Amino acid sequence: MMPSTLEHKLAKILTKRKKYKAIRYGLYIFIFLLVLGSIQTTIIKDTDWEKIGTFGTVVKALARFFPPDFSLFPHLVKPTIETFMIACLGTFLALVLAIPVSWFAAHNITPYKSITYPIGRAIMTLSRSVHEIVWGLIFVAAVGLGAFPGILAVAMRSIGFISKLTAEAIEDINPGQMEAIRATGANGFQVILYAVIPQILPVFVGNTIFQWDINIRRATIMGLVGAGGLGLTFHRQLVMYNYGGVTTVIIALLLLIAIGEVGSYYIRKAII
């Protein structure tokens, strides 16, 4: 009796496995066909192949970007510093604004659960879902051209990320410390100051540095919508058809980002 049930079970498992295998391969084939279909409709049919021409014309179009126009370099110093400062100020503003947002959006410490929690969550989602270009457009329309809308746009984009990870860290903290501080008669503010902040500080600082690194990247494109920095120079060189200058701007941008990456690595190492 015993072995027969075992065999029975084994056979059941094997048929199940076969079924799953069939489903899996069916799914693979389906996805493959879907991708092929999309390639057909979006890339092959939609592209104006005649305008792109042969491989040679593409190479020719690419060759316009070389050699880089190094005479532009002295003019790139100021926009590069500007870009760097937009990123720094944007990150700083995001950091300041992320504190109340993450306080509101952390389920365990939010002051009025039915009101502030959804507000915090909504700000977080909105901030993350709108691309920095769109934020740039909104702020340029509201406060005019210049570096200021760039700072605001960069800040708005990173609030969501910093506060999301911080709120998650707050939700994971050890409640014992909060209870201990509350037991001393501390009010809500003191509980946050002495029980919550020390526990989440490393996460918060780490995320902020990570965002700073990304924000340098974001700041480089703020100029495309009229908000100062290297993006503006890039745009100008492009509309003047000075492709060598475009390459120079990209080189400057890569240097700036490399500096940011190395800097953030060392700061993170020094803090953590």
Partner 1 sequence: MTASTLSTPRDSVKTWRRFKYPQSLIKYGIMLIILVFIAISIQYLNIHLERVLTMFGRLGNLFANRYYPPDIPYILDSEYLGYVFETVKMAYLGALFGILLAIPLSWFASFNMTPNKRFLYPVARFLLMVCRAVHEMIWTILLVTILGFGMLPGVIALSLFSLGFTGKLFSEEIEAINQGQVEAIQATGANPLKVFVYAVLPQVRVAWTGISIYTWDAAFRAATVVGFFGAGGMGWYLRRTVQQVESNRVAAILISIVGLVIISEVASAWARNKVSTS
Question: Between 8 and 25, whose beta carbon lies closer to partner 1?
Answer: 25
Question: Between 86 and 106, whose beta carbon lies closer to partner 1?
Answer: 86
Closest distance to partner 1 from the beta carbon of 7 (Å): 28
Closest distance to partner 1 from the beta carbon of 51 (Å): 5
Question: Between 6 and 259, whose beta carbon lies closer to partner 1?
Answer: 259
Give the chain's largest Cα–Cα span.
Answer: 89
Report the distance separating Cα 10 and Cα 16, nearest Å.
10
Closest distance to partner 1 from the beta carbon of 226 (Å): 11
Task: Decide: 80 and 252 in contact? Cβ < 8 Å.
Answer: yes
Question: Between 110 and 247, whose beta carbon lies closer to partner 1?
Answer: 247
Question: Between 85 and 181, whose beta carbon lies closer to partner 1?
Answer: 85
Q: In which residue are the tokens 């389906």 written?
A: 30
Closest distance to partner 1 from the beta carbon of 3 (Å): 32
Closest distance to partner 1 from the beta carbon of 125 (Å): 6
Closest distance to partner 1 from the beta carbon of 42 (Å): 5
Question: Between 8 and 41, whose beta carbon lies closer to partner 1?
Answer: 41
Three-state SS string across the chain, please?
CHHHHHHHHHHHHHHHHHHHHHHHHHHHHHHHHHHHHHHHHHHHHCCCHHHHCCHHHHHHHHHCCCCCCHHHHHHHHHHHHHHHHHHHHHHHHHHHHHHHHHHHHCCCCCCCCCCHHHHHHHHHHHHHHCCHHHHHHHHHHHHCCCHHHHHHHHHHHHHHHHHHHHHHHHHCCCHHHHHHHHHCCCCHHHHHHHHHHHHHHHHHHHHHHHHHHHHHHHHCCHHHHCCCCHHHHHHHHHHCCCHHHHHHHHHHHHHHHHHHHHHHHHHHHHHC
Footprint of partner 1 (CB under 8 A):
35, 38-39, 41-43, 46-48, 51-52, 58, 61-62, 65, 81-82, 85-86, 88-89, 92, 125-126, 128-131, 133-134, 137-138, 141-144, 146-148, 151-152, 217-218, 220-221, 224, 228, 234, 238, 243, 246, 250, 253-254, 257-258, 261
Closest distance to partner 1 from the beta carbon of 108 (Å): 20
Question: Between 13 and 61, whose beta carbon lies closer to partner 1?
Answer: 61
